[in-house]
Amino acid sequence: MEVNTANFCRKLRKQSEQPLKFVVTLQNTAYSGEGIAMQSVFKREEQTEKFEGRGRRPLELSPVEHIKRYVQEHVAETISLSEAATKVYLNPNYFSQLFKQQTGQSFVRYVTEIKMDKAKELLIHTSLRVSEVAERVGYMDVAYFSNTFKKMVGEAPSEYRRKHAGHSGERCHFREKTSK
């Protein structure tokens, strides 16, 4: 199957909501066992950011950095490993390995830490109920949010608020993951 790379990139650029330029390389891969030959599309991306009065400037972002930024900007949304990998055109297993290699933690742990970091900020600086904080960081089940918060932080959300209310600028810390 022959693909016109220039047309393909042009279509991707038009469909993209963000200012991305795509460089696509095709690689044929064969999956043994089932004997299915598939053509995989691998993408390397360049993100361009618009600077006031300066036009556009390319900024290299690795797939991991791109997803880390996405997670931070979309903390209220639920994003699975598969969805994240799809956003950067990588196989989920490969993306998982790459993420762990570059960050030292699993994708799920990273997402949870970002959500709990935002929850801590909301608990300290707002008067939102715990259920509202849970919703703002993407948890619809308050009990699940509270349990996750307690595992990550070491105390329940209400206890955390009581102890830390009024402490602005505090850096968020998480308990080390202990193996059982």
Report the distance separating Cα 160 and Cα 154, nearest Å.
Answer: 9
Task: Give the residues across from 50 on adjacent strands.
Answer: 56
Q: In what order do the strands lie in the sheet with 20-31?
A: 20-31, 36-51, 55-60
Q: Does residue 6 surpass a pLDDT of 60?
A: no
Token reading at 88 = 């950067």
Q: What percent of the chain has pLDDT over 90?
A: 57
**Every domain of the chain and the residues it spans:** 1-60, 62-180
**Structure confidence by residue, pLDDT tens digits, 23-58:** 333 333 333 333 332 223 333 333 333 333 344 334
pLDDT band at 7 (very low <50, low <70, confident <90, very high): low
Residue 99 has pLDDT above 70, yes or no: yes
Q: What rounded mean pLDDT belongs to the chain? A: 74
Per cent of the chain over pLDDT 70 is 59
Q: What is the pLDDT of residue 61?
A: 87
Selected from 1.10.10.60, 1.10.132.20, 1.10.3430.10, 3.40.47.10, the CATH number assigned to the domain covering 62-180 reads: 1.10.10.60
Count Cα atoms within 13 angstroms, Cβ side, for 18. 14
- The answer to whether the CB of 58 falls within 8 A of the CB of 21 is yes
State the average pLDDT over residues 88-114. 97
What is d(CA 94, CA 99) in angstroms, rounded to the nearest whole number? 9
pTM greater than 0.75? no
